[in-house]
Amino acid sequence: MIDIHTHILPGIDDGSKNSEMSVQMLEKLKEEGVTDVVLTPHFYASQNSVEKFLARRQVGFEHLMAALENRHVGIRLHLGAEVLFMDSLDKVDGLGDMAIRGTKYLLLEMPFTKWSSRNLDTVYKIQCNGFTPIIAHFERYIGFNGGLNEIRELKKMGCILQMNAESFQGFFTKRKSLKFFDEHLASLLGSDTHNLESRPPKIKFAYDAIREKLGEPGVERILYRGRRVLEKSEFVEV
Ligand SMILES: [Fe+2]
């Protein structure tokens, strides 16, 4: 299994507090059967320069590597970021360093307010710069932005839509989530884990729910798309 969206890197955002917690989070995902984890700490271009963010991310990564020394977790780590949308995001220098390393896939967090056509224009400009946006937890914007139309528009534009595993909790949200995968609107799954308790490293139950409803091909499609995203990515095996 692939977890495309996590906040496991220690001490960089509101995710893992320290490297020991990060190791435990990785071990939990490994127990679930996850083979690949993308590390996607929050990046806010309005508050932080790319350089500063990359330096902090590197420090977090080195702390994690030190904590993992002599412990074979058996998982591949891919460095990335969760980039918060802003109007001039397409003009931010160094955006390429925010993509999943070695690829042109950019995990993009959209605003939790009503979107204007300008928002979609900016996404289009980011695409014109050569990136393929992966829209983080797209299901969380529904209701904030007035409906599914904008989400469907992003899909039509060629964005990849990622859903959080937690959407498979609860009868009605689970039913809706399955429908999004059934109609091929949703493409990828992530745990978006931030810690061990309130936002835990759990993703298997979501893959299992998809398998139960859509059969093995339903799961295989998600894994195939994930592998396509990570194909060219530079990873570290730990
Ligand atoms: Fe996130």
Q: What are phi and psi of 235, to 5 degrees?
A: -130, 165
pLDDT (tens digit, 9 = 90+) per residue, 114-173?
Answer: 888 899 999 999 999 999 999 999 999 998 656 799 999 999 999 999 999 999 999 999
Q: What are phi and psi of 82, to 5 degrees?
A: -110, 105
Domain that residue 203 falls in: 2-237
Q: How far is the CA of 5 from the centre of ligand 1 (A)?
A: 6
Which residue stretches of 107-170 are H helix? 117-128, 149-157
Q: How far is the CA of 139 from the centre of ligand 1 (A)?
A: 13
Q: How far is the CA of 214 from the centre of ligand 1 (A)?
A: 26
Contacts of 183 (CB under 8 A, 6+ apart): none
Chain-wide mean pLDDT for the chain? 95
Q: How far is the CA of 73 from the centre of ligand 1 (A)?
A: 23
Q: How far is the CA of 201 from the centre of ligand 1 (A)?
A: 12
Structural domain count, the chain: 1
Lowest pLDDT segment from 19-33, 104-118, 155-169: 104-118
Q: How far is the CA of 17 from the centre of ligand 1 (A)?
A: 15
CATH number of the structural domain spanning residue 134 = 3.20.20.140
Is residue 70 very low, low, confident or very high in pLDDT (cuts 50, 70, 90)?
confident
